[in-house]
Amino acid sequence: MTRRRDPRVPLTAVSGLGAAAVAAVLIAGGASSAVVAVVGVVTGLLALVSLVLASSRVAPGQRRRAAAWRWLEAGSVTWLAGIGLRPVADGTPFVLTFADLLLLFSSLLLMIGCALTAKPPPYSRGVVRQVTDAFLTAASIFAVAWVWFLAPIFHGMDDATTIFSTLALPVVCLLATSGVAPAIIGSRAADRSIGLAGVGVLGAITVAEFATAVARLDGDAPSLAVSLVAPVAFLIFAAVPWVEVRRRRPLPSALSAVIPLFLVGVATVAVAFHAFTGDRDRVLPGLGAVIVLVLIGRLILLVVETAGMRRLVDVGERQLRRLAENTGDVVLLCDHDGVIREIGSSVRKTYGYRSADLVGRPLVDYIHPEDVPTIQVLLRRLDNDGEAVLERHESCRIACRVRASDGTWRPAESVATRHMRKEDLILVAVRDVSDQVALRNQVTHLTFHDGVTGLPNRAYFEERAREVLARPGGGRTAVIFLDLDGFTGVNDSVGHASGDYLLGQAARRLRAAVRADDTLARWGGDEFAVLLEGGSSSSTDAQTAIDLAERIVRAVSSEPFRVADRDMPLTASVGVAFAEDGVPAGDLLRNADVAMSRAKEMGGRRVEVFAAHMHADVVRRLELAADLRRALQENQFAVEYQPVVDLATSRVTAVEALVRWWRGSVFVPPEQFLGPAEDTGLIVPLSEWILKEACREVAGWRESSWDIGLSLNLSARQITAPRFVETVSEALAESGLPASALTLEVIEEMLVEDAEDTVAKLSELRALGVRLAIDDFGTGYASLAFLRQLPVDMIKIDPSFVSGLGCDETLTLLTRTIVRLGHDLGLIVVAEGIERPEQLELLREMGCTRGQGYLVARPMSARGVDHLMRTTLQNTA
């Protein structure tokens, strides 16, 4: 923070030095030119030093201000030199000495500096007008001074050359003062105070030089008081930059134009009085003639300027009228009673009226009745406060509706102001904003409505839910969320444009299913939401909401959607949530979304009502997903291997890799974390790690001369990963495991969903030599079709079939059929979930070649497989 310089220190120094100079004059006891010169030199030097110090505070970018200070400093230096050399120059025989010329030059420099301190006016007054005003002011002052002071002194002197030479310096100083004073008086610049001080210095120099000229003609020295006028002015000039002067409002600019004429009037009275006394004068007639000529010239100039300004005003009015007509605005003039006096021709194009038909008619006849009171208040305001409005150049804006010739009401924006030349009339500009209002309404509609279905969008639904819950009785509210099951397949099969068309059909069905008072909105994607404002937590109202939800399910699932000449059967998963007292709108919507997700997880085409444990389950799943990500980073997973044996010989032919998670010392079952891993996509890096780890282990066992294979389950996300095939190839290459020793298992649902891409990637793996197996065979509905398209090596019977062997004749028959089908197709058949001896015997009887389960061998760690390998190799040896 910059400390402000204390102005009292230089001010005290200036005052002390000035007082010392004045005291020196009093001690001298006279008005000798040498003593006056000393005082003038001291005060001029003070002014110069003060100006130099003050100019150092001017900012670098203020060029005009810096130039003003430099001119003032130069003027002070020149005056200082002139007043200091005057005692020496007074001894020369010349009427105008070189010291007088320096003083003359200093007056011009000070005049330029003062002019630069004034802020330039917003418009140029013209050089001729400024010169004439300066001349009239100086001539009038000189005429008055001549009549009252100078004429008696110069009366009887015949040497006109001496008179005019002697008065040249003060006359030039008077002209300089008169030329710059009006600009300084009417200025708003920051340096106005220093400019006024400079004008004071010029005035003081003028008075002192007039006194000096008179004294020279009389042969006497000027009086002490007159000799100290200029030094005292410079003393004040030195102090002004350091004094905080309260800024006052400048005089009106018109006053600067009146002052010269006022002074001319005063001079005329003085000259007339002088003439009535009977005194004859040789100076006044010539001076008066020049003043009259200048006044005539100024009058002519004023007439020309006035005519030019009038032409500009007329041209401006015509251009304004033409501009208003071309822009479509209707411009009219009316009186304070609202009667139309004049109206532009653009009213025909805008509203369909002829101008002649509207003149003389009340303006309110064409304004909407609801807007008429506002128009009447406006007219009264312009009538009562018209002068104030006119002075402030204010305009009144109002929005109203105007009746067109076809009887329609069109929104309009009007601007009314009092006419500048005809004060009894009001100028009104009316603009038709029908297009803008329509566009604004359209933007508002698009902001809160969905462009595909035409339903309210998510933003509108959220705002509406907040409003309903905030009002009394808002707790009796229900929200229904629904999701279209299988909609993703529609976009993939027939394209997004057809998908949007299907969403439009679904919106129409839903609109027909909900009640008129319910708010139906498209939440986003293939999700919709319904707000029931009349619901409550009572059983009756709750049943009403549930009935509506079930009706929505039926409306979506009742018949297929017809899209792109194809029938698209879809179902809906619906979630319902009821508001409780004090529940925020965001929580209510979240609860309905959670219930809908639960319905979708349960297989779809069902209604689920939100319960508190659902949200807890979602939170747990989110926490579990975070723990899964951390577990991947900290290597908390392990791989166990369940042997696959030959049922005829009990020889281990392969092992199936199974992932295990130990969160600290707590074992997390796979069924708890594999689902969240699939949902979050973490199953991809987890499966890649299992693949590489299992391939490395099995490759090591094979190097020990143990002919054993590896089986791995594939997830849907793993198959659709961008580098799935490359990842498998890299794992085989890094571990050295032959591709024929690796068997990848897929479930039947994965072959049905996104079939083309899945079959293509599995075919690439088959081309590498990797063997393929269908896991949980018999639980799907498209297995036989894909057995023909995909070169499968193995099928694995689902444990649900094996568990019924010996207990359920139907399951036993189905298992026998699957085994026979596998043999007929030349496939290896593996039975999963063998847990009882009778199951093993029946499978051997059916001819099933391989099996796995707790009865055969439990999952074990890699160390357990090592022990099993050594045992097997010893038995073989």
pLDDT single digits (tens) 405-455: 998 999 999 888 877 667 678 888 888 888 888 888 888 888 888 888 989
Q: How confident is the model over 71-96, as a mean pLDDT? A: 74
**Strand ranges in 590-688 using DSSP code E only, listed in sequence order:** 606-609, 637-646, 652-663, 666-668
* Contact present, 582 and 549 (Cβ < 8 Å): no
Nearest to 17 by CA among 56, 47, 43: 43
Top-confidence residue, 419 or 375? 375
| Whether pLDDT at 783 is above 70 | no
| Whether pLDDT at 390 is above 80 | no
324-369 tens-digit pLDDT: 666 678 888 888 888 998 888 888 888 999 988 899 999 889 999 9
Using 50, 70 and 90 to split pLDDT, how confident is the model at 159? low
* Contact present, 87 and 35 (Cβ < 8 Å): no
Q: How confident is the model over 143-157, as a mean pLDDT? A: 67
Q: How confident is the model over 555-575, as a mean pLDDT? A: 89
Which of 145-159, 399-413, 487-501, 598-612 bottoms out in mean pLDDT, i.e. has the lowest? 145-159
3-state SS of 526-561 is CEEEEEECCCCCCHHHHHHHHHHHHHHHHHHHCCCE
Using 50, 70 and 90 to split pLDDT, how confident is the model at 10? very low
User: What was the pLDDT predicted at 770?
Assistant: 92
Q: How confident is the model over 686-708, as a mean pLDDT? A: 91
Which tokens belong to 496? 């997004």
> Between the ranges 614-628, 758-772, 787-801, where is the mean pLDDT highest?
758-772
User: What was the pLDDT predicted at 2?
Assistant: 40
Phi, psi of 120 (to 5 degrees): -60, 140
DSSP tag of 121? P
Domains and CATH numbers, the chain: 8-245+253-299 (1.20.1070), 327-438 (3.30.450.20), 449-610 (3.30.70.270), 630-876 (3.20.20.450)
User: What was the pLDDT predicted at 726?
Assistant: 92
Mean residue pLDDT across the chain:
79
| Whether pLDDT at 265 is above 90 | no
Using 50, 70 and 90 to split pLDDT, how confident is the model at 729? very high
Give bridge partners of residue 529 from the DSSP assignment.
481, 521
Q: How confident is the model over 730-737, as a mean pLDDT? A: 92
DSSP tag of 123? S
Calpha distance 201→180 (Å, rounded): 12
Nearest to 574 by CA among 587, 558, 556: 556
User: What was the pLDDT predicted at 539?
Assistant: 42
Q: How confident is the model over 8-25, as a mean pLDDT? A: 46
Which tokens belong to 665? 């010392």
Give the number of other CB atoms < 10 A from CB of residue 138.
22
| Whether pLDDT at 690 is above 70 | yes
| Whether pLDDT at 31 is above 50 | no
User: What was the pLDDT predicted at 572?
Assistant: 92
- Tell me whether residue 466 is exposed, middle or buried, using C-beta atoms within 10 angstroms of its C-beta: 0 to 12, 13 to 18, 19 or more: middle
User: What was the pLDDT predicted at 138?
Assistant: 75
**Identity (one letter) of the amino acid at 183?**
A
Calpha distance 447→460 (Å, rounded): 8
Q: How confident is the model over 66-86, as a mean pLDDT? A: 80
| Whether pLDDT at 14 is above 60 | no
Instruction: Tell me which residue has tokens 């035409």.
Output: 454
Using 50, 70 and 90 to split pLDDT, how confident is the model at 230? confident
| Whether pLDDT at 521 is above 70 | yes
User: What was the pLDDT predicted at 384?
Assistant: 63
User: What was the pLDDT predicted at 642?
Assistant: 92
| Whether pLDDT at 158 is above 60 | no
Calpha distance 294→831 (Å, rounded): 126
Q: What percent of the chain has pLDDT above 90? A: 19
Calpha distance 198→111 (Å, rounded): 8
Q: How confident is the model over 762-766, as a mean pLDDT? A: 87
User: What was the pLDDT predicted at 286?
Assistant: 65
Q: How confident is the model over 227-255, as a mean pLDDT? A: 68
657-677 tens-digit pLDDT: 999 988 877 888 888 888 888
User: What was the pLDDT predicted at 780?
Assistant: 59
Calpha distance 193→198 (Å, rounded): 9
Using 50, 70 and 90 to split pLDDT, how confident is the model at 733? very high
DSSP tag of 14? H
Calpha distance 182→254 (Å, rounded): 10
| Whether pLDDT at 250 is above 60 | no
pTM: 0.46
| Whether pLDDT at 18 is above 90 | no
Q: How confident is the model over 125-140, as a mean pLDDT? A: 71
Using 50, 70 and 90 to split pLDDT, how confident is the model at 538? very low
DSSP tag of 449? B
Q: How confident is the model over 736-763, as a mean pLDDT? A: 81
Half-sphere exposure of 590 (CA within 13 A, CB side): 11
User: What was the pLDDT predicted at 273?
Assistant: 64
276-317 tens-digit pLDDT: 665 556 566 666 677 777 777 777 877 887 888 888 877 877
